[in-house]
Amino acid sequence: MRKAAAKNRTNQTFKNGDRVTWNSEAGWVTGVIQKKITAPTVFKGYTRHASKDEPQYFIKSEKTDHVAVHKGSALRKLPGKPARRKSKA
């Protein structure tokens, strides 16, 4: 059953501003889609092999502001709007 659920997520597309979560080495992370990538792109020294058929996404962590790139199949959409961060003023 898990394989079927994972297969369904591969076709899921996201848009800028969508809240998503993904599993990282440090545990589950929540972030916001910043940009959809549909062509090969170099990010942090690695080529991300994105295409129109298999897009990848720039995602900004809500907690750390760290930016990552992931395939849509690694992401799960969350309901609601991104949390607002307090300014450091």
Instruction: Evaluate if residue 66 carries a pLDDT over 60.
Output: yes
pLDDT per residue as tens digits for the range 16-33 = 999 999 999 989 999 999
User: Residue 59 forms beta bridges with which residues?
Assistant: 33, 68
**Structure confidence at residue 86 as a pLDDT band (50, 70, 90):** low
3-state SS assignment for residue 3? helix
Phi, psi of 4, rounded to the nearest 5 degrees: -65, -40
**What is the spatial distance between Cα 5 and Cα 37, in angstroms, rounded to a whole number?**
23
Q: Which of 22-26, 50-54, 69-73, 80-84 has the lowest mean pLDDT?
A: 80-84
- If you search the block for the tokens 């990848």, which residue do you land on? 56
